[in-house]
Amino acid sequence: MLTFRCTQRVLRRLGIETIADAPVSTTRLGDWYINLLLVRRHRLLIFVSEPTLLSVFVPIKELSTLIPRFRRGLAEVLQALGAPTRAIEAEISDMETVAFAATVNRSVLGSMNDLIFQAKWELERDPQQMLLELGLRLSQIPCKPLGYRYPREAAMARLAGERPAAFD
């Protein structure tokens, strides 16, 4: 079970219906927050894992293909980070059932705004870079809510079944 927590801008733009009491995600990377990222010709959605702040970028297209495109993007990021294939497959498999809800964690929203600022800077610097590269670059930025650890470290620890206090 996976819960996507969307900002109001995303809910309005994509016309997503939410449920009031969304269940907590059962995936190791937890709930994923979604926001818009609009830079020049780029029209993207940024997905940020609540407990790890790992970022995945997906172009805005029709809603019907959003979930498969997110899963594919996440698998690519995790593979590039060196996650074991079994862990990636298990994470993606746990995402069969999906719910959409409103955001609830202000700390994640603040971190997401910082990540969006960094992503905009990266895209201004190199507009041709691939979305995978962008996600990998952001995974190497230390984040205060993680105890100044990197999102890639937090994600790898969670996939390995660890739940360090600094990541929760």
Is residue 102 one of the residues assigned to a domain? yes
Is residue 8 one of the residues assigned to a domain? yes
- Residues 155-166 pLDDT 10s: 999 999 887 554
Q: Taking a C-beta distance cutoff of 8 angstroms, is the pair 77, 134 a contact?
A: no
Is residue 81 one of the residues assigned to a domain? yes
What pLDDT does 152 receive? 97
Is residue 63 one of the residues assigned to a domain? yes
Number of structural domains in the chain:
1
**Global pTM?**
0.94
- Residues 12-36 pLDDT 10s: 988 888 888 888 899 999 999 999 9
Place of tokens 């994600």: 155
Q: Which helix (H) or strand (E) holds 39?
A: strand 32-39
Q: Report helix, strand or coil for 164.
A: coil
Is residue 167 one of the residues assigned to a domain? no
What pLDDT does 20 receive? 84
Is residue 168 one of the residues assigned to a domain? no
Which amino acid does the sequence have at 60?
I
pLDDT at 167 over 50: no
Is residue 87 one of the residues assigned to a domain? yes
Whole-Å CA distances, 85 to 17, 32, 81, 127:
33, 21, 11, 30
What pLDDT does 164 receive? 59
Q: Find the domain containing 36 and state its range.
A: 2-160
Is residue 165 one of the residues assigned to a domain? no
Q: Report helix, strand or coil for 4.
A: strand
- The C-alpha atoms of residue 152 and residue 138 are separated, in whole angstroms, by 9
Place of tokens 């691939």: 130
> What's the average model confidence in pLDDT over 77-100?
96
Q: Report helix, strand or coil for 3.
A: strand
- Residues 44-70 pLDDT 10s: 999 999 999 999 999 988 778 999 999
CA nearest to 60, candidates 113, 13, 130? 13
Q: What is the CATH number of the domain that holds 98?
A: 3.30.420
